[in-house]
Structure 1
């Protein structure tokens, strides 16, 4: 079957692609039979090649010499996008990095379809950049330039929560007023939409979109807060020098933030560490930090924190094994501590959701359904916070990783046939 159009959800943590068929949207198996491709690239210097997704993470963890990049979407709209990173003695522009990754999605999608995809609907957050319209426009313009450079003749965009609404609408049996809650790796997006079986075939749904808001907070921010609150203190955050001054905290923030981890390995940063080490009142915890930097194990540390966060969605306790910092080091993470660390983020997300309704002049009591998508929407504290704000709404969980991609395919079918 010939398929000329597809949808691509280029995510902060995971990416998907889908096509629209007579039987409805179909996610493409992008890696090892799975529809998700982790948004990761590893530059394997030992074998002089690039790997993507789970394969990239596996090679990094196996100890190959090289550089791992994650959360590349977070660079869009920032000054870093026009910079690059040094890989094996050469400078790789971040534009090229993003293009290589999305190009891999395009290639694998076309291989699965057996046909070139010459049109694409790309998902985008409601806000790439908070409170800066120029930077937000620049982010989409940059992404469009990158995608067009891959050979797509037609490129258009759809807000990710609207795409998720299209996916949910394929299965409903009555009209609903729905707040789409899309909590991804980098952003939290909300759309208030009127959905019904009668409306889902219409190409123009502008009258059914009642409100759209977003805030640049997502799962990677939860990772960062958990790391700073519970893990980085075990590596010296908060310790003091002999003169009583606190250890500079900048490197801890670099290591706790996915897209800045590699900056912690720069030579000038290491020189600063040496000076700090000579002036410490108690060096043991800081030595753990030095071990992480020596081994360039920052991403491995961040993965452990991310895994702990995921564990805490289902349990009250998780134990992190941090052997990259010190052999045998174990840290207990408690759900209560995690929830306290992200309380500010949860509040801002809740305010963004209420703002979406305020745009439309709709009272919270009128919402029929909260439709959750995005991997980070599984955090219990987030769901509880939204349930308190919208007590009359029933909660429905979509495909946390695939709803947006499927919805983009529906839109692609409507726009391009």
Structure 2
């Protein structure tokens, strides 16, 4: 604090610039001036002054006079009027250049009184799980409020409500959460904790309607009459990844970590993630051998592979070629809303549900052969083999002829059946409880 106060005048236009440089340079959530102000400006200033006078500081240079003067002594360096500049001895407001109009909620600074995205705009509906709101520009926004934006019953009901509201009164729906730009999550997946009571009371059968409703909601998103845009930033894992996959389009921050990670808790994706792997493989194959295009989707799910960036997510197939990557996370909401409106204005219509051509037992058997080699070679455990085999069966369409045509619902039913079977498996239960208790995957 002594150092930044002494050098502020010569190194930066104002205190805000120092805080942003330190935050963005080192990945901090708050900067040094913000920390000082949050801890009590005058108290810290007096302690630093006392240490200097007693020779306990690293340097005997006195604190600048402005630290103890006027509005700084009263409020600190960050105020709603702006941040303090030692050079001009005034509070400097934020830049009003047009480029910043793309940032509806700019990087917040402690004490600046910036607009809070959790309360901004007009709220259409709000409960403990979601907030539906808009800013008067014909696009409805769904913001998830759960911890790490996990998907439980409240979020599913909120998405259903948002879809109905958007189809009735708006040009599009954007899924965007307020803290994602500051290193939060788009969604860390399904809320296993909330499903535990149902499982304990009625076993796997009691979980069946929950999974079915999740699948139905994601399919409603995919075939909505208005465009649904997933504004992805941070973690999009498991069910969060599947939610993004079922949007009409994805707008992703460059720092997006996307993947189907269910095998880590001894389960398989059951929200349509494997179904989408089969659908996309068929589309990309364009009449060629679908298996060659299916390998990526299978491997990603079977190894719980997570992208290290949005660019890698494109290479992995979680983002499509025409999905938008945004380099400034504070512009994500603007780009997502513009994307939704432009799709609507271009005459958006819900896609037609088309049948899926699958590889059948040919694809399943080919992948299974490789899994057997890995199991017998000691590279994967017997339970890893079981999970991989189930994933291979689903993405291949099951024990049917190569080139068979199935519906998306056929694949979703296979996902759900396999998921419920695994819930009753002791090895999977070990992995689930291990993750809930320690937060780390169990290898068994």
Higher strand share: 1
Higher helix share: 2
Q: Which has the larger radius of gyration?
A: 2
Structure-2-length-normalised TM-score: 0.22
